[in-house]
Amino acid sequence: MEGRGVTNYSSDKPSYGFSTATTEFDDALISRGIVTFEQAMLAKGASPAEALRLTKLHEKEQETSSRSHVSKKNVDGSLDEQLGERSDTVSDGSTDGDDQEFISKYRQMRLKEMKHEETNPIHAKKYGELIFIARSDWNREVNEASQDGQWVIVNLSRSSSCLSQRHDEMCDKVQEIIVGLADRFEGIKFVSIPSNSAIENWPAENLPTLFCYRFGKLQHQLIGIGAFGGSGVNLERVEWRLAKLGVLETELEEDPKPSNRTSCSTRSNSYTGMTSSAFGGTGCRLATRREDDESDYDNVD
């Protein structure tokens, strides 16, 4: 199968459509140990779970083929013979030249990928920092990124001045906290998007809002300052709440004390506690997929 552009062997961003067949170039890279069969499947567009399944199937086929080959030879000498054949092949000057050619080609391909990443800020970012996304990025950066069990935490930031100056300060404070959590928990992907970009007409009183995705679906949500620990919100209080939901592991033994803050002046009935799975509100389907929905809301472009 021929792909468009550069084949990307990175596990989190395959470059073109999935195909179970490998190209001659793929086979050459695999045989030389440059990439694995699983990476080749990911590069073709397979999901991590599908790539793993195909890899196991491939290994079984290889094992069956190997057993069939060994059965035709003397069992005691078959391993030495096979190793000898491989050694002869490696020592062949023409094969060494082929190796250098493939390695050179692969190096050029990786250089192109690196240049591409430099011009694409989202792809260049790594966990350990808050990643800012647009609505068109949601499916790739949230649903697909969480498909294999990776936790992806989505922070809905305020789009503009909302209900009051105090409320704005609370939203900005939570944004700072999320930046701190992203730095502290590098294994979790934290992204941020303006609320109105993610979900049209998302109520301002629902901010701050966190969505916790895993396996491609919404698992938990924190809506309103009350869910974050109240007006005395701080990093440890949010960490504690995410730990209680099973999103992260913490060394905290109890809910930390709130920061010395006066109560927020927004309407009290707008603040909700921690909830899980389905959203409240009407516009949420545009950018998310509910765990209990049969419909697919992945495409939000």
Residue range(s) occupied by CATH 3.40.30.10 in the chain: 131-286
Distance CA 128, CA 189 (A): 8
Strand order in the sheet with 131-132: 131-132, 189-194, 152-157, 209-214, 217-223, 274-276
Q: What is the pTM of this model?
A: 0.52
To the nearest whole number, what is the mean pLDDT of the chain? 73
Q: Is the pLDDT of residue 70 over 70?
A: no
Q: pLDDT confidence of 130, banded at 50, 70, 90?
A: very high
pLDDT of amino acid 81: 55
pLDDT of amino acid 287: 45
DSSP-assigned states of every residue in 232-254: G--HHHHHHHHHHTTSS-----S
pLDDT digits (tens, 9 = 90+) for 213-263: 999 999 999 999 999 989 889 999 999 999 999 999 999 989 888 877 543
Are residues 280 and 290 in contact, defined by beta-carbon separation less than 8 angstroms? no
Q: Is the pLDDT of residue 152 over 60?
A: yes
pLDDT of amino acid 273: 45
pLDDT digits (tens, 9 = 90+) for 98-122: 667 777 777 777 677 666 655 555 5
Residue, of 126 and 270, whose pLDDT is higher: 126
pLDDT of amino acid 34: 76
Counts for the chain of helices (H) and strands (E), in that order:
10, 6
pLDDT of amino acid 71: 58
Domain 131-286 sits in which CATH superfamily?
Glutaredoxin (3.40.30.10)
Distance CA 144, CA 14 (A): 11
Q: What average pLDDT score do residues 44-63 get? A: 77
Find, among 101, 141, 109, 146, the residue nearest to 3 by Cα: 109
Least confident of 26-30, 124-128, 133-137, 178-182: 124-128
